[in-house]
């Protein structure tokens, strides 16, 4: 009788333990395995802007390779599933759904572009999946605060403010704007207009180009009429290069300044060092060739080990620091991560990524306001 009772008790405990383990597995968010954490990314790896996404992905993968080689995060290695969206909004939305619903990722990172991210936000926010790191400074993505989106870089308003203040400080007041007709470009335009207004100024001319287009003729005609001393360009490298070429053919030689999304190395490759000389570029990441900064030194080491080259770039280090931010936040979350724990950890934390610091609160997910003004030298190098 005693033996029968003990057998029944053991059987009951075993069943109870099975249910407890099952409940524990069911409680884990998607993307969290026994030995892996799966993240998702959507960016352009093809098309006119494919080089941007490739550099970002390379930087992120270099960091995760370094991280995984030392044991990962609390014993789990990080896997990054990166899908190509060609900088097209509908593809970004489709990729977001696929990553969440089919690939079962835990969190998203390093999305590229203002308009694509704006539409994807409707998908990941509804699913309560956090996106950490947006390659966009658009104000529309920052206000109001979306609980499930965290920015690594400064806003376009921060960048344009720095550029306008610098130009006006030099006595340049006849300023025009060339912008991409989407969320990115319009945010840049708004930032220039707002800062000029604080100086009691207005743009002398405004022209635009459609996303993924090189048809800049109308913008050149419109802006040339204003005879500007400077043109601030909220555009990407191919239309920027074409616009500058056509402006110069029209006899216009203003100071050309552009925002960080341009990608300095890509602009130089497109135009050649001689033609790119003197173009000003605002930057929102640490100078990627200054290895006295701990984050940059770590980036160099990781790229050399993972990619076997030393072609450093602003997009590369942004992808690297984005990956490091995700990893540092997950380390703080602990051994049993959930999406909500990750959001809470980010919202109540500051992160030193090696001399590049970001911080968040429930009322601000902006991360950083760091802006550095640079110019392209005669040999195509970025000078500070």
- The DSSP secondary structure of 149-171, one letter per residue, reads EE--SPPHHHHHHHHHHHHHHTT
3 state SS of 318 = helix
Q: What totals of helices (H) and strands (E) does the chain contain, helices first?
A: 13, 15
Which residues, in sequence order, are bridge partners of residue 271?
none
Four-residue CA torsion sign, 98, 101, 105, 110: positive
> How many angstroms separate the CA atoms of 358 and 370, rounded?
9
To which residue do tokens 């619903």 refer?
A: 101
* Whether 302 contacts 63, CB under 8 Å: yes
Residue 281: per-residue pLDDT:
98
pLDDT at 8 over 70: no
pLDDT at 7 over 70: no
Q: How confident is the model at residue 21 (pLDDT cuts 50, 70, 90)?
A: very low
- The whole model's pTM is what? 0.88
CATH architecture of 156-283: 3-Layer(aba) Sandwich (3.40)
pLDDT digits (tens, 9 = 90+) for 279-298: 999 999 999 999 899 999 99
pLDDT at 158 over 90: yes
C-alpha triplet 229, 232, 234: angle, nearest 5°: 160
Superfamily of domain 36-154+289-367 in CATH is Response regulator (3.40.50.2300)
**CATH 3.40.50.2300 in the chain, residues?**
36-154+289-367, 156-283
pLDDT at 90 over 60: yes
Collect all residues with Cβ–Cβ distance below 8 Å to 240 and sequence separation of at least 6: 178, 233, 258, 262, 267
pLDDT digits (tens, 9 = 90+) for 134-152: 999 999 999 999 999 999 9
């Amino acid at each position: 009788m005693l033996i029968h009772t003990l057998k029944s008790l053991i059987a009951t405990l075993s069943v109870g333990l099975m249910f407890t383990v099952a409940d524990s597995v069911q409680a884990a968010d998607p993307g969290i395995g026994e030995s892996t954490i799966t993240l998702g990314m959507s960016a352009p790896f093809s098309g006119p802007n494919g080089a941007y996404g490739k550099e970002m992905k390379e930087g992120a993968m270099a960091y995760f390779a370094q991280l995984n080689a030392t044991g990962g995060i609390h014993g789990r290695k990080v896997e990054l599933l990166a899908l190509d969206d060609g900088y097209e909004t509908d593809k970004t939305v489709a990729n977001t759904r696929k990553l969440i619903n089919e690939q079962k990722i835990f969190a998203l990172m390093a999305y590229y572009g203002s308009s694509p991210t704006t539409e994807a936000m409707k998908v990941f926010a509804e699913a309560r999946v956090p996106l950490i790191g947006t390659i966009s400074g658009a104000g529309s993505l920052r206000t109001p605060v979306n609980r499930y989106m965290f920015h690594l870089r400064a806003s376009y308003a921060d960048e344009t403010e720095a550029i306008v203040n610098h130009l006006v400080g030099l006595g340049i007041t006849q300023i025009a704007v060339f912008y991409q007709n989407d969320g990115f470009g319009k945010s840049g335009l708004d930032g220039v207009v707002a800062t000029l207004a604080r100086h009691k100024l207005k743009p002398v001319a405004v022209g635009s180009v459609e996303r993924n287009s090189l048809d800049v003729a109308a913008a050149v005609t419109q802006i040339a009429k204003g005879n500007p001393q400077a043109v601030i360009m909220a555009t990407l490298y191919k239309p920027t290069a074409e616009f500058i070429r056509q402006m110069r053919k029209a006899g216009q030689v203003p100071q050309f300044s552009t925002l960080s999304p341009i990608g300095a190395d890509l602009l130089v490759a497109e135009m050649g060092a001689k033609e790119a000389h003197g173009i000003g570029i605002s930057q929102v990441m640490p100078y990627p060739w200054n290895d006295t900064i701990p984050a940059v030194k770590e980036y160099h080491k990781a790229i050399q080990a993972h990619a076997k080259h030393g072609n450093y770039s602003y997009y590369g280090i942004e992808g690297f620091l984005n990956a490091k931010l995700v990893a540092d936040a997950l380390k703080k979350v602990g051994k049993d991560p959930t999406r909500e724990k990750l959001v809470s950890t980010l919202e109540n934390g500051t992160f030193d990524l090696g001399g590049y610091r970001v911080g968040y609160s429930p009322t601000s997910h902006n991360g950083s306001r760091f802006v550095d003004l640079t110019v392209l030298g005669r040999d195509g190098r970025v000078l500070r």
